[in-house]
Amino acid sequence: MNSLNAPPRTLIKSAEDIEGMRVAGKLAAEVLDMITPYVKAGVSTLELDKLCHDYIVDVQQAIPACLGYGGARGRKPFPNSICTSVNHVVCHGIPSDTKILKNGDIMNLDVTVIKNGYHGDTSKMFVIGEGSVLANRITQIAQEAMYRGMKVVKAGAYIGDIGEAIQKYVEAERFSVVREYCGHGIGKVFHEDPQILHYGKKGTGMRLEAGMTFTIEPMVNVGAWQTRLMGDNWTVVTKDHKLSAQWEHTILVTETGIEVLTARPEEDLSFLQN
Ligand code: MF3
Ligand code: CO
Ligand code: CO
At residue 74, the pLDDT reads 85
Is there a contact between 227 and 239 (Cβ–Cβ < 8 Å)?
yes
Is there a contact between 90 and 244 (Cβ–Cβ < 8 Å)?
yes
pLDDT tens readout for residues 10-20: 999 999 999 99
Domain of 57, CATH number, reads 3.90.230.10
Q: Is the CB of 83 under 6 A from ligand 1?
A: yes
- Residue with the smallest CA separation from ligand 1 atom 4 is 121
pLDDT tens readout for residues 32-80: 999 999 999 999 999 999 999 999 999 999 999 999 999 988 899 999 9
What separation in Å is there between the alpha carbon of 119 and the centre of ligand 2? 10
How far is 201 from 224, CA to CA, in rounded Å? 20
Tally of CB atoms within 10 A around 49:
26
pLDDT tens readout for residues 93-136: 999 999 999 999 999 999 999 999 999 999 999 999 999 999 99
Share of the chain above pLDDT 70, in %: 99
Kind of pairing, strands 236-238 and 227-229? antiparallel
Q: Is the CB of 247 under 6 A from ligand 1?
A: no
How far is 228 from 238, CA to CA, in rounded Å? 6
Q: How many residues does the chain have?
A: 274
Atom index in ligand 1 nearest the CA of residue 92 equals: 11
Atom index in ligand 1 nearest the CA of residue 191 equals: 9
* Counted domains in the chain: 1
What separation in Å is there between the alpha carbon of 167 and the centre of ligand 2? 18
At residue 274, the pLDDT reads 76
H or E segment at 160? Answer: helix 159-172
Mutate to test the pocket of ligand 1, among 84, 92, 114 (most ligand atoms within 8 A of CB): 92
Q: Which 3 state secondary structure label does DSSP give 91?
A: strand
At residue 3, the pLDDT reads 66
DSSP codes of every residue in 92-106: -PPP-TT-B--TT-E
Mutate to test the pocket of ligand 1, among 53, 75, 90, 190 (most ligand atoms within 8 A of CB): 190
How far is 102 from 87, CA to CA, in rounded Å? 11
Which residues form the domain of 267?
A: 3-273
